[in-house]
Structures are given as structure tokens and as C-alpha cells.
């Protein structure tokens, strides 16, 4: 039985006008303070909410009432924003 021919595929090369620029590869790494402060904000936010719920809404600041939730969740959202800048 005759042997079938093997088709040779051409090697794909991306078009030169669509290639990413070299500036993305030359970005500097993140400063050391960025992940440290992001983790600190996450811990602070979770700690704030835990204290708020376990103290039956008397601590950390009783006069703020439900705004204590905004402070806790705001700290966690701020940490997510910082982590989005991390390289």
C-alpha cells in the first residue's frame, strides 16, 4: 500500500504591525511597600469588621454605627486597588 505524503506546515509568524511594543517588558517592578501595605489593609479591614460584629456594634467607634462596615470594606477595596498595581 502506498504511503501518504506528510504535509509540512509553515511556521506562523505574527504580523509586525500588531506586535506589542517593548515598553511593556521594560516596566520596573513594584516597590516593596506596595504588597506590604495591601496585606496590612486586608488584615485591618477584616479585623475592623470582626471587632465590630463580636462587640455587638459597640467597638471600634460606637458613634459611627453602620459606617464601621464602610470603613472595614473600604480598607479591603483599597487593598484590591493596590494589588491591581502590583507587578
Cβ-based neighbour number of residue 41 at 10 Å: 20
Residue range 32-82, pLDDT digits in tens: 899 999 999 999 999 999 999 998 887 878 888 888 899 999 999 999 999
pTM here is 0.64
For 4, phi then psi, to 5°, come to -75, 155
Measure the CA–CA gap between 46 and 63, rounded to whole angstroms: 20
Residue range 70-84, pLDDT digits in tens: 999 999 999 999 999
Amino acid at each position: 500500500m502506498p504511503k501518504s505524503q506528510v504535509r509540512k506546515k509553515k511556521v506562523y509568524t505574527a504580523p509586525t504591525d500588531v506586535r506589542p511594543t517593548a515598553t511593556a517588558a521594560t516596566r520596573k517592578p513594584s516597590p516593596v511597600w506596595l504588597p506590604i501595605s495591601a496585606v496590612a489593609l486586608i488584615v485591618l479591614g477584616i479585623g475592623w469588621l470582626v471587632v465590630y460584629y463580636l462587640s455587638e456594634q459597640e467597638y471600634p467607634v460606637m458613634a459611627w454605627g453602620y459606617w464601621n462596615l464602610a470603613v472595614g470594606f473600604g480598607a479591603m477595596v483599597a487593598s484590591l486597588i493596590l494589588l491591581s498595581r502590583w507587578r
